[in-house]
Structure 1
Amino acid sequence: MDIAAPAPTFRDATAADVDTLVELIESAYRGDSSRTGWTTEADILEGRRTDPEGVLAVVEAPDSRMLAVEQDGRVVACCQLQHRGEHAYFGMFAVSPSLQGGGLGKVIIAEAERIAQETWGVREMHMTVISVRNDLIAWYERRGYRRTGRMTPFPYGDERFGIPRRDDLRFELLVKELG
């Protein structure tokens, strides 16, 4: 992370944050704005990544937390944590494209793991990543996540998850044992 950048602050998102979070998530993954960063999915998916209803459901779910990450008083990143019994699920991770590559993501994922352990006492963090996203999977592997080879189908035909530009998309489960 840039030495001059202020330390991020973390808080639970509220319903008032939903529109900001949707805009952030879309900017990090879809459309031309996402090409500023390295996490873009614009070459494999068109359409939306999420919608206000989906984000609000995460914000309001009793077994879930949506973390809003702020710098200089504005939301610059977010992630979802969901308690799933013995493990927590990590999702909806987005960092503003203009801040990607500076170390903020590493700080966020480490804090998310700490919060999941402290809040729910879980021993593992799970996530799913589109299996053709080799650069992103490699980034998670450098953070201690391992590929499991366990795949689930991409929801072709459900435009809430985007409009695929290829026919080989599926999700791979990545797992990390927490300390």
Structure 2
Amino acid sequence: MTTAAGGLTFRDARDTDVDTLVRLIESAYRGDSSRAGWTTEADILQGQRTDPEGVLEVIKSPGSRLLTVERDGSVVACCQLEHKGDHAYFGMFAVSPTLQGAGLGKVVIAEAERRARQEWGVREMHMTVISVREDLIAWYERRGYRRTGKTSPFPYGDERFGVPQRDDLEFELLVKGLGQ
């Protein structure tokens, strides 16, 4: 467990956190509650963003962790880190919609990068972002991530990832060098 500025506590998720983390992730990306923040995907995807099985899989997978961020005992953010050899994968990033825009996301991503570099010795962080999310991609670019132009298909027909509201969705790989 690590405590950072602003009274934040970072820890690995536990099985008992699953329902809380699913609610957080859903609130940040889907439905009307997500519109309180700027990371909403409600206009391009409906349905769920994740489910308890998906969150538990991240918690239990070897080489993977779901970093959970608390403030005053309440879960306010989370992100997945997965060790992939020479790089780490960053995903399942969510910040409570009512706290977005105040710098919390910057603190969380910086801590995730620090941990991946320090604990796994990786030189790069990789992530995938839905390519039509220009505002979100621009936010990551301001944090040092670069677009690679490498894309992978959106899993149309697999409602575990949501119900697409348009037919041009794909994921783009973003990469950041972490230095040593």
- Normalised to the residue count of structure 2, the TM-score between the two structures is 0.96
Partner of 1:175: 175
CA-CA distance at 1:8 after TM superposition: 1.1
Partner of 2:70: 70
Alignment of 1:77-88 (within 5 A): 77-88=77-88
- 2:7 and 2:72 in contact (8 A); partners too: no
- 1:12 and 1:67 in contact (8 A); partners too: yes
1:159 maps to a residue whose letter is E
1:9 maps to a residue whose letter is T
- 2:128 and 2:172 in contact (8 A); partners too: yes
2:43 is equivalent to residue 43 of structure 1: yes
- Normalised to the residue count of structure 1, the TM-score between the two structures is 0.97
Alignment of 1:1-179 (within 5 A): 6-179=6-179
Rounded to whole Å, the distance in 1 between the matches of 2:9 and 2:117 is: 19
SS where residue 167 of structure 2 aligns? coil
Rounded to whole Å, the distance in 2 between the matches of 1:70 and 1:110 is: 16
- 1:6 and 1:72 in contact (8 A); partners too: no
Rounded to whole Å, the distance in 2 between the matches of 1:20 and 1:73 is: 12
- 1:13 and 1:66 in contact (8 A); partners too: yes
SS where residue 6 of structure 2 aligns? coil
Rounded to whole Å, the distance in 2 between the matches of 1:131 and 1:138 is: 11
Identity %: 79
Rounded to whole Å, the distance in 2 between the matches of 1:148 and 1:157 is: 26
SS where residue 62 of structure 2 aligns? coil
Q: Which runs of 5+ in 1 are unaligned?
A: none
- 1:50 and 1:161 in contact (8 A); partners too: yes
SS where residue 6 of structure 1 aligns? helix
Rounded to whole Å, the distance in 2 between the matches of 1:102 and 1:95 is: 10
Rounded to whole Å, the distance in 2 between the matches of 1:79 and 1:172 is: 18
SS where residue 92 of structure 2 aligns? strand
Rounded to whole Å, the distance in 1 between the matches of 2:129 and 2:93 is: 11
RMSD value over aligned CA atoms? 0.8
Rounded to whole Å, the distance in 1 between the matches of 2:156 and 2:117 is: 34
Rounded to whole Å, the distance in 2 between the matches of 1:165 and 1:66 is: 28
Rounded to whole Å, the distance in 1 between the matches of 2:84 and 2:45 is: 28
CA-CA distance at 1:74 after TM superposition: 0.6
Rounded to whole Å, the distance in 2 between the matches of 1:67 and 1:41 is: 22
